[in-house]
Amino acid sequence: MKKITVMCFGTFDLLHPGHISYLEQAKNFGNYLLVVIARDANVSRLKGRSAIDNEKERLGKVNDLSMVDRTVLGNESNKMSVVSEYKPDIIALGYDQLVDLDKLKSVFKGKIVRMKAYREKMYKSSKLRG
């Protein structure tokens, strides 16, 4: 069987059922799920606060999930470099994930899919943080 790699990106802080749903949905598009974990410096810069779990803790928790085949840390200075490096077949985005699609499409010519929300009023990391 041909390997079909699906790439997901995220912080995955306070790993919750919404994250699990996102990853399960993504895995359905292929047979190899590669998850890129946001670097601590990028989380602080983009979200204006630090993640509760550091990048190595988040990487380990996501890597332990049964549907995930591999986790890698993102690049601090060039977030798109992992796309060029790993050359996924499909990129799966979260339902509310903010991405510069023009920039992404400049380095990725494959299929980009957007996952459905999972009880977003209950399971959203920013709400769970309090």
Domains within the chain, CATH numbers bracketed: 5-129 (3.40.50.620)
The pLDDT score that the predictor gives to residue 128 is 46
Q: How far apart, in whole angstroms, are the C-alpha atoms of residue 16 and residue 21? A: 9
| 50 or 66, greater pLDDT | 66
Q: Residue 123 pLDDT more than 60?
A: no
Q: Residue 28 pLDDT more than 60?
A: yes
Q: How far apart, in whole angstroms, are the C-alpha atoms of residue 51 and residue 65? A: 20
Rounded mean pLDDT, 44-57: 88
Rounded mean pLDDT, 18-39: 97
Eight-state DSSP code of residue 117: P
Q: How far apart, in whole angstroms, are the C-alpha atoms of residue 37 and residue 43? A: 10
Q: Residue 121 pLDDT more than 70?
A: no
Please list the residues that pair with 32 across neighbouring strands: 5
pLDDT tens-digit series, residues 72-86: 999 988 888 999 999
52, 129 Cβ separation under 8 angstroms: yes
Q: How far apart, in whole angstroms, are the C-alpha atoms of residue 114 and residue 78? A: 22
Provide the token pair at 28: 């359905």
Whole-prediction pTM value?
Answer: 0.88
| 42 or 121, greater pLDDT | 42
